[in-house]
Structure 1
């Protein structure tokens, strides 16, 4: 086995692990230039070698695409976990602040109730005030004893009721804050695990793309030699085959039955031309920029970071740094449109099952879109892929 084949085995192993494949995958045996020159001596051998090289190129593309898709899915899971953690952290902080404020209010109310108790004790002519002082250190004891006293005045009753309500509110908010802390800790662990998984799949995607790029130049040159063409022509031909396969690969994904669009798709307004044009122009201006997991500029991007900033340039918020959040925001705003009615500027989504979205792009018209794909592949404008494309697009400018 040649040394370069061992490298391929490492890359393929990392990719299969990333996409959840447990079976071992044998690394392909790439032909040498001597193999190609020998095949050129015989027409049948040359044709077979052409088929072999085409197969290797297709395999490299498929491996890179599978790794990229796995990365997109893992990255979106992290974004969702991070969003859930951010929301839980904010809720914990809010409840903690409210519980502290309620505790202070409860102390004031208890003090007012204590003054009331002392006053009533003196008015009753007994030593109730001493009894309360000895036994009323806990607000429960104090308020209970006040509650059992007969013939409270209307004002006294109000003071007692307020103190009791403040005590209950402080206790309730304190309990909620403790629950929120527990939930936040659990979500922090989930986000940490999702981040580690996203980083692993990102590394696998980068390795697969690096392997593809390292191999395909020689394979194109070998094909050109066998077919008496040029490497550039062979690269173009392979790109055309890839685009054709992507168009014919699978039907789009419908939305889940439990969560249909909340609007009638036929009633959505057409896009505001200048807003859509601004978003497209911004996205196109980033073509060639590197992909970066969780990137949102100025020169490194992931898919939802690019779409978010593109529409921010047009003065529109589309739902945050997550493909799923952007789809749900459009759905809640009544901005979903069937793909058959897509207009330039609309957002195209990809999903495994129509629930969470793992990829989002900007439609530029003519069956084309701008996307930040995955590690190793820069921002680009390509033909719209049908595989796992969601049946609805979002129209943020509607």
Structure 2
């Protein structure tokens, strides 16, 4: 890959067809190469802490009660349980740290791919334009050659001797032919230069496509690794929640603080789980009610705010109410567009870089909704995008939602969501200068502008 980058960089220097501003990036070529190395190092599967947690065997209540009545075993069992509690906490901490690290590598790999894809598309457009110019120059050169042939006609010198009465006309044609010949040489040189430029750009575009495809694979691997790490972190936390209460109860029995039996503990657990299930149902009911109220308020707000007139592409008018579903699609968030898709000066770091989505400004804590139905394939930390949710809508289409506030991810990996469903709360995590939603749309990993796409679905944002 680095050889490709060097080749592309050298070829680009040879021409000045790229009018885009020179970029200042925090990533060097070494950093991009390090992404691949990092991916290989991070494909080990399960962390040591996770392996420890999975390998742990937890003491039964019979073991605990037997150790309580045996002075020699009591302290050993207390130390064992304390160690298990500590290992659960360590497993959660290490799994989350690894998830954060892999999330950051995923972010960097995705940025590298996005820039390579944009560059490849840009070079191809330039190559196509240059080829059209070369074709036009070649046609013009051919026309001049034809004109020269008509002007030269035959052997003008011989005609001067055989037709002395037409000498003046023949000399005029000879002078005209000489001028055409001089112009033809210049036009031929231009045509040759245009063809060389088109060929150079075509070669650069081919190299850029090769780089893009390599980085696409790296980004996909990085995503899979980050997704697996996030799921492992969730499993580690679930294991802690499942086992820690029982271990602490058993520790209390061993230390003489409690006299709980296994049957009593199980009854307590049953009651606790019933209480948790009841609270979860009540929370879900409140969530649904809040979601409906948020949709109502957003629709009311959108209806009361005048917007621009209708525009092409299947949509237009004022912004659609957030969460309101139209033909299977929904506006994820009401608010102004604060940064468009494309190259921009980064608001945090100040260098020029590709912005692979649009930013929608809104207060932190405001509800954001799924743009369409699909499956959550990522819900966790994603480097500069902060807390991040990605939804797979099928046929290679995904939408992504970045900078979600801490504790504001309201969906989980593998969860099915509906269009207009509440999925997260607006935040400013990651590389962010204020509360907003970073919204992306992609097909098979390649980003494109969400605004015209959603407009084509009947949804106006911003």
In structure 2, do the counterparts of structure 1 residues 390 and 48 end up closer, same or farther at CA, with 3 Å as the change threshold? farther
Correspondence 1:64 to 2:105: no
Match of residue 188, structure 1, among 213, 216, 226: 213
Query: Following TM superposition, by how much is the alpha carbon of 1:185 offset from its aligned partner in structure 2, in angstroms?
Result: 0.8
Q: 1:233 to 1:199 in 2, by over 3 A?
A: same
Structure with greater proportional strand content: 2
Deviation of 1:364 (Å): 8.3
2:17 aligned residue:
none
Contact 1:280 1:364 in 2 (8 A): no
- Contact preservation (8 Å) 1:335, 1:395: yes
Equivalence for 2:409:
370
Relative to structure 2, which stretch is displaced further, 180-189 or 100-109?
Answer: 100-109
Output the CA distance in 2 between the equivalents of 1:63 and 1:376: 24
Deviations 1:165-209, CA, capped at 9 Å, x for gaps: 343223212211111211221232232233234324433443454
Deviation at 1:114, TM superposition (A): 0.7
Query: What secondary structure does 1:102 align onto?
Result: helix
CA RMSD of aligned residues (A): 6.0
Aligned partner of 1:54 among 80, 85, 98:
85
Change (3 A) 1:70 1:331: closer
Determine helix, strand or coil for the equivalent of 1:167.
helix
Q: 1:61, 1:212 within 8 Å by CA — same for their partners in 2?
A: yes
Q: How does 1:272-311 map to 2 (within 5 A)?
A: 274=301, 282=323, 310-311=332-333
Residue 32 of structure 1 corresponds to which residue in structure 2? 59
Deviation at 1:123, TM superposition (A): 8.5
d(CA) in 2 for partners of 1:30, 1:20 = 23
| Corresponding residue number in structure 2 for 1:165 | 190
Structure 1 residue 333: deviation in Å? 9.3
Give the corresponding residue for 1:202.
227
Structure 1 residue 342: deviation in Å?
A: 4.9
Change (3 A) 1:167 1:70: same
Change (3 A) 1:111 1:394: farther
C-alpha deviation, 1:112, in angstroms: 0.9
- Distance across 2 between alignment mates of 1:72 and 1:280: 32
Match for residue 110 of structure 1?
Answer: 141
Q: How does 1:123-272 map to 2 (within 5 A)?
A: 125-126=156-157, 161-207=186-232, 209-210=234-235, 212-213=237-238, 216-224=241-249, 226=251, 230-231=268-269
Deviation at 1:46, TM superposition (A): 8.0
The 1:16/1:190 distance shift into structure 2, 3 A limit, reads closer
**Compared CA separation, residues 371 and 165, structure 1 to 2 (3 A):** farther
Contact 2:339 2:360 in 1 (8 A): no
User: Is residue 83 of structure 1 aligned with residue 114 of structure 2?
Assistant: yes
Q: 1:392 corresponds to which residue?
A: 433
Contact 1:68 1:375 survives alignment (8 Å): no
Task: Determine the C-alpha separation between the residues in 1 that align with 2:41 and 2:48.
Answer: 10
Deviations 1:97-127 (A, max 9, x none): 3344234323311211211322443498259
Unmatched 5+ residue regions in structure 1?
A: 1-14, 128-148, 238-272, 286-296, 299-307
Task: Tell me if structure 2 keeps the 8 A contact 1:67–1:204.
Answer: yes
Output the TM-score relative to the length of structure 1.
0.50
Report the count of equivalent residues.
294
Question: Structure 2 vs 1, CA of residues 220 and 377 (structure 1 numbering), >3 Å: closer, same or farther?
Answer: farther
Give the secondary-structure state (helix, strand or coil) at the position aligned to 1:369.
coil
Instruction: Please list every run of 5 or more consecutive structure 2 residues that lacks an aligned counterpart in the other structure.
Output: 1-38, 159-173, 253-259, 277-299, 303-318, 369-379, 389-400, 438-460
- SS in structure 2 at match of 1:196: helix
- How many angstroms apart in 2 are the aligned matches of 1:93 and 1:18? 34
Residues 186, 171 of structure 1: alpha-carbon distance in 2 compared, 3 angstrom cutoff: same
Cα distance in 1 for residues equivalent to 2:346 and 2:412 = 18
- Cα distance per residue 1:253-292 (max 9 Å; x no partner): xxxxxxxxxxxxxxxxxxxx958xx999649x9xxxxxxx
Hey, what's the Cα distance between the residues in 1 that align with 2:157 and 2:209? 52
**Distance in 1 separating the partners of 2:111 and 2:347:** 12
* CA gap 1:317/1:181 in 2 versus in 1, 3 angstroms: farther
Q: 1:115 to 1:330 in 2, by over 3 A?
A: closer
Change in CA separation of 1:117 and 1:281 when aligned onto 2, cut-off 3 Å? closer
Q: 1:380 to 1:216 in 2, by over 3 A?
A: farther
